[in-house]
Amino acid sequence: MAQLDVLITAASRRVALVRGFQSALQELGVRGRVLVTDVNPLSPAVHFADAAFRVPMAGDEGYLDALRSLCRAEGVGLLVPTIDDELPILAGARGLFEDDGVQVAVSPVETTTVCNDKHATCLHLRRSGVRAATSYLPSDLPSPPSLPLFVKPRFGRGGVGAFHVCRESELEFFLAYVPDPVVEEYLAGPEYTIDVLCDFNGTALAVVPRERVVIRAGVFDRGRTVADQRLIDLGVACTRAIRFAGAVNIQCRIVDGTPVVFEINPRFSGGIPLTIAAGAHFPAMLVQLALGRSVAPSVGRFRDGLWMTCYEAGIYLPDGDADRLLPVADRPALREAG
């Protein structure tokens, strides 16, 4: 029986992703565990993983060393990063992890750097012939500006600090209010996320568009899969313009019949449970890739018109069970779930 332990970083609320990898191992007949890291012992995913470990923040000096020590001690074979801040760090250290026998599901440094910069993303796509939002830095705005516009942090995430502006007075205010702002043309039309999975050579294996019908706090709350060939073709076009590895989510709106990209995140999306439920099991594909198995592309093969509507659920923990985060120890001893 094949063996693979998976480590998901910054697990936080990503319970569905933990369960997705657990089900992938079971369905594929692979022996292994799904481990997570976090800084908060009350993060929900900590209590669903097979084991959970406390690590420094991604921006801290000791973060990379802690992850490598953890992977060595626990025999991890696949590392799955989940937050934008750590993507360039882990992309730059990919060779070090590979030397330790760990496959990292992360896109190249150049990709993570471009995609973390929303202005650079749109410029790169447009230069590559992919329809993307017109993007300006404040110093490049035409005078007078063509309103409405959209102001957001150049390096932000989760929809935090993003504002639709209709008047020049609003534009002036939000340019001063939003840290390191970027200005984009306002895209009026239905919003979609295109979930894409690429192999470690950059080949698109699966493309699943989802309509974001209700968004709560920047996160997918209600929506459906949509087998729209325009969106599927756009997802493939983005993988040709930018080299990816692992999961990617492309955010766009359809304007006058044409999808227009406004952001790309080279990581798992919050709405990935819907994509998995629709038959595109990204975790299972990644597990097979990490085991050295070939995965045939299945672009556009998924259940169309499948809805997902989200709700809150609680975990109830007595004081003694509230902190399951284990310290990272650099020794070759496997830890079982407690």
CB atoms within 10 A of CB 1: 6
Residues 225-251 pLDDT 10s: 999 999 999 999 999 999 999 999 999
DSSP, residue by residue, 299-331: TT-S-TT-EEE---------GGGS--EEPP--S
332 pLDDT more than 60: no
Closest to 101 in 3D by CA, of 199, 201, 7, 197? 7
Location of structure tokens 């923990």: 317
Sign of the dihedral through C-alpha 145, 149, 155, 156: positive
The CA R_g of the chain, rounded to the nearest whole Å, is: 20
CATH architecture of 5-115+189-326: 2-Layer Sandwich (3.30)
Name the residue among 239, 230, 248 with its Cα closest to residue 204: 239
**pLDDT the model gives residue 331:** 43
Cα–Cα distance, 109 to 2 (Å, whole number): 30
pTM: 0.93
Q: Residue 309, class by beta-carbon neighbours within 10 Å (0-12 exposed, 13-18 middle, 19+ buried)?
A: exposed
Average pLDDT, the chain: 94
Please report, for residues 39, 158, 159, 216, the alpha-carbon distance to residue 312 in angstroms, rounded to integers and kept in the order given. Answer: 22, 18, 20, 12
What's the whole-number mean pLDDT along residues 300-327? 91
Q: At 137, which helix (H) or strand (E)?
A: none
Model confidence over 177-187: pLDDT tens digits? 999 999 999 99
DSSP 8-state code for residue 76: E
Within 13 Å of residue 125, how many CA atoms lie on the same side as its CB?
29
The Cα–Cα gap between 268 and 251 comes to: 12
Q: What sign does the dihedral 182-184-188-190 (CA atoms) show?
A: negative
Cα–Cα distance between 135 and 81 in angstroms, integer?
28
Over the stretch 249-303, which tens digit does the pLDDT of each residue have?
999 999 999 999 999 999 999 999 999 999 999 999 999 999 999 999 999 999 9
pLDDT over 80 (residue 330)? no
Residue pair 287/104 in contact (Cβ under 8 Å)? The answer is no
Distance from the first to the final alpha carbon of the chain: 24
Percent of the chain residues topping a pLDDT of 90: 87
Cα 132 from Cα 54, distance rounded (Å): 39
Q: Does residue 103 contact residue 131 with C-beta atoms inside 8 Å?
A: no
Return the domain boundaries, the chain.
5-115+189-326, 135-185
Phi-psi region of 120 (alpha: psi -120 to 50; beta: other; left: phi over 0): alpha
